[in-house]
A and B are shown apart, each in its own frame.
Chain A
Amino acid sequence: MEYQAPPFFKTGPTPLARLLILAALSLVLLVSDGRFHYLAPVRQVAAVILYPLQRIALAPVGIARRIGNFFVTHSSLRTENVRLARENFANEGMLQELKALRAENARLRALLGARQRFGVSATAAEVVYAARDPFSRRIIIDKGMRDEVEAGQPVVDEEGLLGQVTRVYPWLAEVTLVTDKSHFVPVQNLRNGLRAVLSGTGSDGVLELRFVPVNADHQNGDELVTSGIDGVYPPGLPVARVSQVERSATRLFARITCTPVAGVSNHTQVLLLSAQRDLAPRPAEQANPRRKGKARKR
């Protein structure tokens, strides 16, 4: 009978066994997060534990920024002040016009019996950092559940649409930018009202109009605004400008690249819009086995 001496040291399972157990566990996590989105509560807990660390990591940047603000020169402040006053003046004029137009619009809509457009309220938020994941385009902002941020809220800067809130943590929220590959915005060409779907490409500053027929009337320089038919984005937000149109007979669709209007890679402050949406109830979802989990909620 074979006899094996008892081990001197208790070491537990072998490294390979431990590796296999943990790798299997990671795979389970990956699948349940990627496919079924089960793990939101776990993520919340981890985010709360991580929050102080994130704050500490960001403290030097905040201090540097504050020191930089302290040493702003008098002349640069004056120039900025003059510029802001001028902008404010121009905006005032536009605002008055807007008020008149809004009243007129409401009256006309009432005459036509169309649904009223709802007002949009905005909260300012600060960008904490850009997510370091090279595969996606996301930013983290400093408003979260505590400030009643909800997933699906559109985020804009002073130029146009930036993206939408996709994950909300207690003190922070994650915004997926329009340039993210899995981000789609229904848009409308401002020149002729043509509708299309704009998607990110995963690289900064390049968007793409998807599934546009070769003969569709899109030209270089056309402005694209949100069409509002998805119920996520309020209609009329500027999103992108067409920068290149490639039509080739060998392809089914035209290849139309656009550049985002908003500064998707350089911003410190953003606006969170919360639109009171009054949408028709969603039609019952048809059983479609090919529906990928990529579609955004709401």
Chain B
Amino acid sequence: MATSRPAPQEILLPVKPGYIALTLVAALLLNLLPWSGYWLWIRPDFVALVVLYWCIEQPRKMGFIAAWLVGLFMDVADGTLFGQHALAYTVLAYAGVVLHRRVRMFAITPQALHVIPLFLMNDLIILTVRMLGGADFPGWHYFIGSFVAGALWPPLSALLKIPLRPKPDPYHV
């Protein structure tokens, strides 16, 4: 399509590493909420969402090691095999960094369609690790969370950009 133009980029304040860390901790907190029943089925992996967001938005600032470390914390919180989330998030971060130029060409809604396969890949890595470890296939509802995460992509990117908007200069006439 010749008519499609790159999405207009807002000029935002530079992202501080502390802000990235804060959002990661907040995502971890959301994952730690006591989800149960049907909510557990549709629960998106907030940490994966935030890791991927920063890898696409700020590929130089979001390190793989940060992704790997939050993965380890997820493993401890869930009592799962040590390293399964770490592996999945690292691969996710890599995919985000590799694809960031392409994904950022698009407006925010098509971006969501781009990230859903990445979240599915994230789930698939965890599924593979667990099934190699002898677990059963938990059912197709296991993948619902990835689509929910994709649906949350536009609101999330709007939310994370709020603190980065430059403040209007009060002395500006």
Contacts and interface: CB of A to CB of B under 8 A. Distances in A.
Main secondary structure of the interface of B (DSSP, over half): helix
Contact of A29 (B78, B83, B135): B83
B65 A22 contact: yes
Contacts of A39: 82
Interface string B96-122: 011000000000000000000000000
A141 B68 CA distance: 27
Contacts of B76: 43, 46-47, 50
Interface residues of A, number: 48
Contacts of B93: 19
Interface stretch (A72-80, A81-89, A91-99, A129-137): A129-137
B170 interface: no
A105 interface: no
Contacts of B72: 29, 46
Interface stretch (B12-20, B30-38, B148-156): B30-38
A136 B25 CA distance: 25
Contacts of B87: 23, 26-27, 30
B129 interface: yes
A241 interface: no
Contacts of B133: 34
Q: Can you list the 8 inter-chain pairs with the closest CB atoms, starting with the nearest?
A: A29-B83, A26-B87, A129-B34, A33-B82, A57-B32, A135-B135, A19-B94, A26-B83
Interface of B: 25, 28-36, 40, 43, 60, 64-65, 68, 71-73, 76-84, 86-87, 90-91, 93-94, 97-98, 129-130, 133-136, 138, 142
12 contacts: A19-B64, A23-B91, A26-B83, A26-B87, A29-B82, A33-B82, A34-B133, A43-B76, A50-B32, A58-B33, A130-B40, A133-B80
